[in-house]
Amino acid sequence: MHRRPGKNIASSFDVIKYLLTLGGLAWLIGRGSEQLGYSWHWHRIPGYILTVSHGHWQAGPLLEGLMVTLEVSAASLVLAALIGLVTALLRLSGSLVGRVLAVIYLETIRNTPLLVQIFFLYFVMAPILDLSRFTAAVLALAFFEGAYASEIFRAGIVSVARGQWEAAYSLGLSNYATYRHIILPQAVRLVLPPLTSQAISLVKDSALVSTIAVYDLTMQGRAIVAETFLVFEVWFTLAAIYLLLAFMLSLLVRLVERLLAGRGQPAWSVQ
């Protein structure tokens, strides 16, 4: 590997530009809030995250909300992956009924707003099926993200080379065994990066469940704002927490990718 001599200078110049932009932004916000006569109370924020009482750590509302956000996200992530995979397999199946069902599901989900889907599940389906708030939230998110995940899975499956199917079939493997042992292990590795960004989308979209009063991070934030008028501080903090969450998620997946990437690369389709 050869390093270009100008590279270090160029990248340190980039850092300076970046810091200048950040500084400018901070100055703008500071000046704006001064003109509004906003009085900052940053010292009150840590108390909403973590408090110490009687020598014990106690989670503040924001941390509790974060836990709920993580629960909702994790549950709907698992469900979305499952729905996505099943839908992808249905779309690729020989069954006409399966394909039509999959397409109807995909088109419905992708052409209606997530907010409407959440309301529909919570206000219409939940009373009929006796679902809890939490369940309605998880289902709405799972069905929404599952539609996108299924397209990702489908792309992964069709991009595995045809020869892999033929080799598996010629050994007498059944359709199921071929998918399970040959095609899906390769397809999943191919689609791990786009699947990650879908997972990050899911975490961010989960903020919408606050609209049906699930006490997630966003809902807790709204509650604190309503009580204390710490508008700027709370929303800054919330944004930072979501940012951190997304960052950690992509870090995690990069780690998994590196573990998988060592040996045995998938067979890419040449088409």
Taking CB under 8 A as the binding criterion, the range among 21-29, 95-103, 224-232, 258-266 that sits at the site for another protein is 258-266
Q: Is residue 169 close enough to count as binding another protein by CB under 8 A?
A: yes
User: Which of 35, 170, 227, 258 lies at the binding interface for another protein (CB under 8 A)?
Assistant: 170
Torsion, Cα of 159, 252, 61, 76 (10° steps)? 20
Q: Is residue 177 close enough to count as binding another protein by CB under 8 A?
A: yes
With respect to another protein, which residue has the nearer C-beta, 85 or 126? Answer: 85
Q: Is residue 192 close enough to count as binding another protein by CB under 8 A?
A: no
User: Which of 33, 108, 265, 269 lies at the binding interface for another protein (CB under 8 A)?
Assistant: 265
> What is the C-alpha separation between 129 and 135, in angstroms, rounded?
11
Give which of 143, 75, 154 is closest to 105, Cα–Cα: 143
User: Which of 26, 50, 171, 240 lies at the binding interface for another protein (CB under 8 A)?
Assistant: 171
With respect to another protein, which residue has the nearer C-beta, 57 or 176? Answer: 176
In the complex, the smallest distance separating the C-beta of residue 151 from another protein, rounded to whole angstroms, is: 23
With respect to another protein, which residue has the nearer C-beta, 168 or 219? Answer: 168
Site string for another protein, 121-160 (x = CB under 8 A): ----------------------------------------
Give which of 241, 232, 227, 236 is closest to 32, Cα–Cα: 232
Q: Is residue 58 close enough to count as binding another protein by CB under 8 A?
A: no
Q: Is residue 119 close enough to count as binding another protein by CB under 8 A?
A: no
Q: Is residue 164 close enough to count as binding another protein by CB under 8 A?
A: yes
Taking CB under 8 A as the binding criterion, the range among 24-32, 45-53, 149-157, 177-185 that sits at the site for another protein is 177-185
- By the 8 A CB rule, do 198 and 149 touch? yes
Size of the site for another protein (CB under 8 A): 23
Which residues contact another protein by CB under 8 A? 161, 163-164, 166-174, 177, 181-182, 185-186, 189, 263-267
